[in-house]
Structure 1
Amino acid sequence: MRSNKDFTVITSGSFGEGLEMRGSDFDMMIVETNADVYEDLKPRFNQYTTCFSMERDDVKPGFTQLRLQYSSSQNDLKLCVEYYGKHYISSALYKEIFMHDNLNTIHGPCISDEKGRFDCAVCLHCKTWISPAVQWITRSKTTTLLMAESKMFNKRIMQIVSCQQSSIKHVYKYYMSKLCNKHAQNIPVDSTISDNKYRYKQYKFCLTTLLLNVYHDAVSGWLMLASLFYKTKQYSKALHIIKYSISKCTPEKLYRYMSISDIHYQLLKLQLIRKNGFVCLLKIMFVDNIKFNISNSTLIPDELQMDESNLYPCTAYAYFLNFLCYYHLNNVRKCQDSLECLQLVIDEDYLMTNWNFKAKAYNLLGTALHLLGRKESARQAFLNSLELFPNQLINSAVTSLFKMS
C-alpha cells in the first residue's frame, strides 16, 4: 500500500492475498482521500472534502447510488448526472479520469489494459459501518477462536521471516507448511452452513492457512489449495491452480521410491541447492503424494468420500481434479482431455513407481469414468487396480465394483 495527498493505492486480488501465480492479473484499488461517503450520520463539515450520501432505493442488493451533497470544486459536478434535481456521481465518468493509453478498457467496475493483465478499481471510502454490514461487527465465539488461530499462524510466519539464518528459515517453513496442510483440512467450509458470515470467515481462514502449506514440496500444497476452490465450487480458480501445479510436474523432479539418475546427481550439486540445504531441495524438486486426513478432511472431493484411501499420487490427482472441474462446468471435450492425460500418467508411471500408488491412480480413473456413465471402462479400471493391489480390506476398488454390480 502507498499513499499521496489525494489517493491511497492498495494492492488487492490474489497478489494482495499473498498468492502470486504465473499468468494471474494484477489488481489495484485507488482510494480517493478527499471525499467522504456516509449513510445516515453526516460527517463534520470540511470545506476541502467532497461529501456523498448513500441512497439504496430502487437499486440491486449490494449496490448504492452516491448523491453529491457538498463540493467546493465545479469539477465534481462534471462527474455527476442530474436526476430530478439531484446530482449523482457517474461511475463511467469517474473512471474516464483515470483512463490513459495503457489503461484504456472498461472491465466491469475496473479499468484495465488491453490484455487484461492489470485491473484498477477507483474507490470512495465510507468510514463507518453501513447498516447491512453492522452485524459483521459482532463475532461468534467460534469466529473469534478462528481469528486467534489465524494470529498464531501469522506469528509463526513472522518468526520465519525474521530469522536471519536461511537454513533454519527453510526448516521452519517446512514444518509450518506441513502443520498448515493438516490444520486446513479440519476447517469446515461446507456450503450447508446456514450462516453466510460464519461460512465466509471459515473459508477465508482456510484459504489463509492453505497459502502457508506450499513449502513442503513442489506440488501437493498447491493441489490442496485447488481442492478448496473445487469444494467451494470455484472451478475456474481451481483450474488455474491445477494448471500451475501440472506445470511443475516435470520429468527431472524427485518423487518417492524413484531411482536417482545422473541428471538428478548433477542437479543436487547445483550451488543453489547446496547453499540452501535439503529442505529447500524439497520445495523446489520434490513431488510428494497428496494426503488427506483420514475420515475428517473437509477438502477431499465428495466423489472420493467413500474411498478408504487418503493418499494419492499428485500427477494422477491433478488430472482427476481437472476432470471434476470440467465435469461440473459441462465441458465434455475438456473432460475427455483430462481422462486421456490421466490414462497417460498411469501408462507411463509418471512421477510414481510404487504399484500401490498406481492402483490408486486407477481408482481415480475408474471414479471419473463412472461419473461419465462409462461403466464397463470404469469396471476395467477398478479391476486393474485390484490386480496391482489385491488387498480387499484396503483397496476401495472392491467397494466400487460391488456398487456397480
Structure 2
Amino acid sequence: MFLGKINQSNNKKLILVLESIKCGGIDELITNLFSLDNKNRGLLSSQSDFSSTKLDFLLYRITRPITSSPDISNCFKGLSFTESLLKSESSTFIIDVCKYNYAKISQNIAQLLPSPHVGKPYNIRKCYHRHLQEGINADAVSGWLLYASFYYVIGQYNVTLTVADYVLSKFTPNMVLLNCIFYGREKIDYYRQNVHSAMTLKEKIKSATVGYIWYMKHSSLIPKELQLEVEDADISIPPVVMSHCLRFLCYHHLDDIFNRQQALRELHNTIKYRYFIARNSLSCALTILGVCYEISGDKDIAYRCYDQAVCSNEKCHTAEKKGDANCLKPYTIFIVDKVLLTSPPNGL
C-alpha cells in the first residue's frame, strides 16, 4: 500500500494511517486514504476503484491454504473463532475475508471426516455435504473440484463428470489465479474490467478468481490413484489440471476409451500451454500427467513426465519414487516457457 520510504515529510501522515487502522480497521483506513489530496501519491491513488483493486490483489497474493493439524477438533475451533470475528467485525472487507477463511477451513474438515464408505454412510455423507457446500464459497472452482472428488471417491463417476465439466465452463483467460507472487498489469486491468465497485469482496472472489485444490495429508477425498501424493504431506494441484484428471479417471472407470484419450489430450495441452499453472506447480502437474499416462498403458511417456517433474523446482512424491531424475535423457519434447514437456503419443 505504501510506495516509497519513510522520512520526515511523510511520517506524520503514516502515523495517522496506522492509527486509523488501529481505531477503525480497514474501512477507516480507506476513508482516511481517500480523504488525502492527490499530492500524496506515495501512499495510494486517490481513485477509489484502483485502491480497492490494489487491496484485492494484496489479499490474493498473501492468501495461502489454511493448513491444519490432523485433529479435526482444531478445525472446528477455527470455525468457531471465525464465527466470533464475523459477529464482532464491522468492516465489510474483513467480514468477507473471514468468510473466505471459513470456506477454506470447511474444505479441510471435509477431508478429515471418516471415509464416506464406513460407519453409517448417510450420516457421514450428510456431514460431507454440509462442509463441502461451505467450501464452495472459497473461490469460483476449488470447492466444486473438492465436491467432484467426493463423488469420484464414492464411485458416482457420471456425477463427477458433470461437476468437472461445470468447473471447466467457469474458466476464462481473464480470471485471477490465487496465491501468485506477481500479477502483471494486463491481468490487473482485465480484473478491473470484470468487477465493479458495487461488488463485495466475496462476490469478486467467487466470480473472478480461481484457486488451487488443496488436498491434505491422508485426505479422504483424493482419488486413490493419487494417494501416494498425500502420504507424507499436503499437495496443491492446479485447478484445470485436476478437472481434466478427474475426467480422465472417470472415463477410465466407465471403459469409455475414446473420451478417456480425449481427456488425456486436453490434460497434456493444459500443461503444455501452462493454463492456470504457476511455475512452482509444474512438477505437480507433470506428475499427475504421468499418472494418467501410466494408467492409459503408456509407461514410457509416463516415466518421462516423472523425470521432468523431478527436475522441476518443487518435486512430488510420485515423481521422486518413479522417475530416474535423469534430466539430460534425450526425449522428443516441446519447449514450454523453458520447461521440457514430452510430446503426446500418436493419436493424442
Length-normalised TM-score, structure 2: 0.62
Q: Give the Cα–Cα distance (whole angstroms) in 1 for the partners of residues 242 and 195 of structure 2.
A: 33
**Contact 2:141/2:167 (CA < 8 Å) preserved in 1?**
yes
Q: Does 1:239 align with 2:165?
A: no
Q: Give the Cα–Cα distance (whole angstroms) in 1 for the partners of residues 140 and 277 of structure 2.
A: 15
Q: How far 1:170 sits from its partner (Å)?
A: 2.7
**Contact 1:386/1:395 (CA < 8 Å) preserved in 2?**
no
Length-normalised TM-score, structure 1: 0.54
Describe the superposition over 1:262-306 as per-residue Cα deviations: whole angstroms up to 9, x where unpaired. 35325326663x333444332222211111112x31101111111
**Contact 2:79/2:105 (CA < 8 Å) preserved in 1?**
no
Say which SS state the counterpart of residue 323 (structure 2) adopts: helix
**Contact 1:167/1:276 (CA < 8 Å) preserved in 2?**
no
Say which SS state the counterpart of residue 297 (structure 1) adopts: coil
1:286 aligned partner: 209
Q: How far 1:223 sits from its partner (Å)?
A: 0.2
Distance 1:311 1:266, change over 3 A: closer
**Contact 1:220/1:289 (CA < 8 Å) preserved in 2?**
yes
Distance 1:189 1:266, change over 3 A: same
Say which SS state the counterpart of residue 173 (structure 2) adopts: coil
Say which SS state the counterpart of residue 211 (structure 1) adopts: helix
Q: Give the Cα–Cα distance (whole angstroms) in 2 for the partners of residues 361 and 384 of structure 1.
A: 11
Letter matched to residue 228 of structure 1: F
Letter matched to residue 143 of structure 2: G
Q: Give the Cα–Cα distance (whole angstroms) in 2 for the partners of residues 266 and 320 of structure 1.
A: 28
CA-based RMSD of the aligned residues comes to 3.2
Q: Give the Cα–Cα distance (whole angstroms) in 1 for the partners of residues 224 and 235 of structure 2.
A: 13
Picking from 334, 340, 356, the partner of 2:265 is 340
Q: How far 1:371 sits from its partner (Å)?
A: 1.1
Q: How far 1:316 sits from its partner (Å)?
A: 0.7
Letter matched to residue 108 of structure 2: K
Residues paired across the two proteins, number: 245
What does 1:114-153 align with in structure 2 at a 5 Å threshold?
A: none
Picking from 170, 179, 182, the partner of 2:105 is 179
What does 1:42-81 align with in structure 2 at a 5 Å threshold?
A: none
Q: Give the Cα–Cα distance (whole angstroms) in 1 for the partners of residues 257 and 194 of structure 2.
A: 44
Q: Give the Cα–Cα distance (whole angstroms) in 2 for the partners of residues 277 and 325 of structure 1.
A: 37
Structure 2 unaligned runs (5+)? Answer: 1-71, 325-348
Distance 1:321 1:201, change over 3 A: same
Q: Give the Cα–Cα distance (whole angstroms) in 1 for the partners of residues 141 and 107 of structure 2.
A: 12
Which of 1 and 2 has greater Rg? Answer: 1
**Contact 2:116/2:124 (CA < 8 Å) preserved in 1?**
no
Say which SS state the counterpart of residue 291 (structure 1) adopts: strand
**Contact 1:189/1:232 (CA < 8 Å) preserved in 2?**
no
1:353 aligned partner: 278
Q: Does 1:303 align with 2:303?
A: no
Q: Give the Cα–Cα distance (whole angstroms) in 1 for the partners of residues 314 and 194 of structure 2.
A: 42
**Contact 1:352/1:358 (CA < 8 Å) preserved in 2?**
yes
Describe the superposition over 1:346-393 as per-residue Cα deviations: whole angstroms up to 9, x where unpaired. 110111231x311111100110111122111111111121222375xx
Distance 1:229 1:376, change over 3 A: same
Q: Give the Cα–Cα distance (whole angstroms) in 2 for the partners of residues 239 and 153 of structure 1.
A: 31
Picking from 172, 183, 188, the partner of 2:114 is 188
Q: Does 1:374 align with 2:306?
A: no
Q: Give the Cα–Cα distance (whole angstroms) in 2 for the partners of residues 271 and 397 of structure 1.
A: 40
Q: Does 1:329 align with 2:283?
A: no
